[in-house]
Amino acid sequence: MPTQLDLQPSLTDLPLSPGLSTIAVHAGAERVNAHHALTPPVVQTATYTFADTADLSDFMEARMWGMAKGRTEYGRYGNPTVDAAEKKLAALEGAGAAVLYSSGMAAVTSTLLTLLQSGAHVVITDDSYRRTRQFCLNFLRKFGVECTVVPMGDYAALEAAIRPTTKLIISESPTNPYLRVLDLARLVEVAKRHNIKTFVDATFATPLNLRPLDFGIDLVVHSATKYLGGHNDLLAGVVAGDEQLIALLRQNLWMLGGVLDPNNAYLLVRGLKTLALRVEQQNRNGQRVAEFLEGHPKVERVWYPGLASHPDHQAAKTQMRGFGGVVSFEVKGDLAAGSRLVDGVKIPIIAPSLGGVETLIEQPSLMSYYEMSTEERLVVGIKDNLIRLALGIEDADDLIADLAQALERV
């Protein structure tokens, strides 16, 4: 963990080890902005100007030596609003640097295209985001990259899948939709023994609940669309890690082009300022709702790492500061029983995604896996009676009362 955070010199009166909420508000922020504005401005430009040819030559010379900090010539290569968001995110993760993308999937795909080449092999856990699995199994295969899927939590199977050509282990913590939690120290030990890089999606955790880099993970990725933005009004992705690795990713981002625009960067900075407050409430809501559901006679099983019944509860207790705002559960009955519950609630809104201030609800069988038959869904672990509840910041008592009345319809 860095001993000095990337805060502006004028913030040196802060504690030497500021808390995560303080970092979320102040890291990467200028004390004096244009026109004396409190918030960082949206620098809405596609290109940047030079006073004369000498100014241009000085910039080009500085860039050749890696000294052109805070200056560029074209919008795809950088933007001050995006830079401010990246600094804030790097500080929250305890990372050397962070790079922003136009979406979470752009962050994943650009990273994999950067780190892998023909003949390489990757290992991915089976409860990882389905689009990431599809990219590894289908898209990368066309370019000569092989992929092995192993069961989440089976570290013997993971190590057995490693080959001399294995370059990357990809996983997620907590996972979607069963909230499985990695034993990060164990994963890192296996990876380092075989000289393999690790890439972990921690979208469900946020840096407030889990910082994989602290455990030795090489790169952490987030769909910033979710908790980091927090208001369901932007698309963004971020990768954080060692400064040299991030510099390599940034070089390829300039070529691949999936950059984040300044308006979404501005919204992301705004959302990050309340991240700690929102996540704290969502953690409380998650725990209370999970405990209520586990005790309800019409619920077969609840998946939430804050419950002792969860298979990774001990790992979650050891590594996480909170257990998050997503609760997955199985109602007693079939797909229709689950639909009666989803249609019966008054507060949660039927929608994909998670991490915003509003509570969202969905049946994975109807949302992400609709094109599959029941039998095909069972092969990938999705039951028809499974419901995913992404809790917002509403009052827990209201959410519980609403679920209770809706469960009467099941």
Q: What is the set of active-site residues?
A: 76, 129, 201, 226
3-state SS, 44-98, equals CCCECCCCCHHHHHHHHHHHHCCCCCCCCCEHHHCCHHHHHHHHHHHHHHCCCEE
Amino acid in the structure at residue 115: L
- Compute the Cα dihedral for 20, 276, 303, 130 and give only its sign: negative
Yes or no: say if 239 and 220 are a contact pair by the CB < 8 Å rule: yes
What whole-number distance in Å separates Cα of residue 199 and Cα of residue 248?
15
Amino acid in the structure at residue 81: T
* Residue positions counted in the chain: 410
| CB hemisphere CA count around 16 (13 angstroms) | 1
- Compute the Cα dihedral for 356, 361, 364, 365 and give only its sign: negative
What whole-number distance in Å separates Cα of residue 21 and Cα of residue 157?
39
The C-alpha angle with vertex 181 and arms to 179 and 185, in degrees rounded to 5, equals: 170
Q: What is the DSSP letter of 9?
A: G
Order of strands across the sheet that contains 386-390:
299-303, 326-331, 386-390, 360-362, 349-350
Alpha helix stretches (DSSP H) within 116-242: 130-134, 155-161, 184-193, 206-209
What whole-number distance in Å separates Cα of residue 217 and Cα of residue 220?
7
- Burial string for 107-131 (b: 16+ CB within 10 Å, else e) reads bbbbbbbbbbeeebbbbbbbbbbee
Long-range contacts of 300-306 (CB under 8 A, 24+ apart): 300/329, 300/330, 300/331, 300/332, 300/385, 301/329, 301/330, 302/327, 302/328, 302/329, 302/330, 303/177, 303/178, 303/179, 303/327, 303/328, 303/329, 304/179, 304/328, 305/174, 305/179, 305/181
